[in-house]
Chains A and B, each alone.
With several copies, the nearest count.
Chain A
Amino acid sequence: MRKSRSAEPHRGVPGAAAGAVGALAFLLLWELAARAVGSEIVLPSPPRVARAAAELFPTVRFLAALEGTFLRGILAFGISLAAGAAVGLVCGLSPVLASALSPALTVIRATPVLAVILLALIWFPSGAVPVFAAVLMAFPVVVADVRQGVRSADPGLLEMARLFRLRKRDRIRSIYVPALAPYLASASHGALGLCWKVVVAGEVLSQPARALGTGMQGARIQLETAEVFAWTLAGILLCALTDAAFKLAQRKVPRALLPS
Chain B
Amino acid sequence: REPTAGASVLRLGALKGPSGIGMVRMFESPPRLSRGDTLELQAVPSADAMAAKLVAGELDAAVLPVNLAAKLYASGLPYRLAAVVGMGMVSVVTTDPAVRTFEDLAGREVHVAGQGATPEYLIRTIAEARGLDPDRDLNLAFRLPYPEIAASLAAGRISLAVLPEPFATQALAGNPRARVPFSLDELWKEATGRPGYPMTALVIRDAVLRDRPVSASALLAAYADSIAWVRAHPGDAGVLVEKHDLGLKASVAAAAIPRSAYVFIPAPDARADVEALLAVFLRIAPKSIGGRLPDPSFYAEIPKR
A interface residues, Cβ below 8 angstroms from B:
39-42, 117-118, 121-122, 126, 129, 205-209, 214, 217-218, 220-225, 227
Contact = CB atoms under 8 A, between A and B. Distances in A.
B49 A121 contact: yes
A222 B248 contact: yes
Interface string B102-126: 0000000000000111000000000
Given A41-B75, A42-B151, A121-B52, A205 B116 contact: no
Given A221-B116, A223-B71, A223-B170, A206 B45 contact: yes
Contact of A122 (B52, B174, B287): B52
A52 to B, nearest CB: 11
Interface stretch (B31-39, B140-148, B264-272): B140-148
Given A207-B142, A208-B143, A221-B117, A118 B46 contact: no
Given A117-B52, A121-B53, A209-B245, 4 more contacts: A39-B155, A41-B155, A126-B143, A223-B72
A230 to B, nearest CB: 13
30 contacts: A39-B55, A40-B75, A41-B55, A41-B72, A41-B154, A42-B52, A42-B152, A117-B48, A117-B52, A117-B145, A118-B48, A118-B148, A121-B48, A121-B152, A122-B55, A122-B56, A126-B143, A206-B45, A206-B49, A207-B16, A207-B142, A207-B143, A218-B116, A222-B116, A222-B170, A222-B288, A223-B71, A223-B72, A223-B75, A223-B151
B48 to A, nearest CB: 6
Q: Which 3 A-B pairs have the closest CB atoms?
A: A207-B45, A126-B143, A121-B52
A222 B151 CA distance: 9
Among A214, A217, A218, A227, max chain B CB count under 10 A is at A218
B89 to A, nearest CB: 15
A223 B56 CA distance: 14
Contacts of B53: 121-122
B177 interface: no
Nearest to B56: A122
A122 B247 contact: no
B143 A206 contact: yes
**Max chain B CB contacts within 10 Å: which of A40, A122, A208, A218?**
A122
B68 interface: yes
B22 interface: no
B157 interface: yes
Contacts of B157: 39, 42, 122
Contacts, number: 112
Contact of A118 (B51, B174, B248, B252): B51
A205 B117 CA distance: 15
B21 to A, nearest CB: 13
B238 to A, nearest CB: 12
Given A42-B55, A42-B155, A221-B147, A205 B45 contact: yes
Interface of A is mostly: helix
Contact of B154 (A121, A207, A223): A223
Interface string B148-160: 1011101111000
Contact of B285 (A39, A117, A122, A222): A222
Contacts of A221: 17, 115-117, 146-147, 247-248, 288
B259 interface: no
B75 A207 contact: no
B249 interface: yes
Interface string B44-74: 0110110111011000000000001001100
Contacts of B52: 42, 117-118, 121-122
Given A126-B49, A221-B116, A118 B55 contact: yes
B249 A225 contact: no
A68 to B, nearest CB: 13
B45 A220 contact: no
B287 A224 contact: yes
Most buried by B among A118, A129, A206, A227: A118
Interface string B242-260: 0001011100100000000
Contact of A218 (B49, B115, B151): B115
A122 B57 CA distance: 10
A223 B155 CA distance: 10
A205 B247 CA distance: 13
Contact of A121 (B72, B117, B148): B148
A164 B48 CA distance: 59
A209 B16 CA distance: 12
A223 B147 CA distance: 7
A118 B50 CA distance: 9
Contacts of B148: 117-118, 121
A94 to B, nearest CB: 37
B68 A223 contact: yes
Contacts of A225: 151
A70 to B, nearest CB: 20
A41 B151 contact: yes
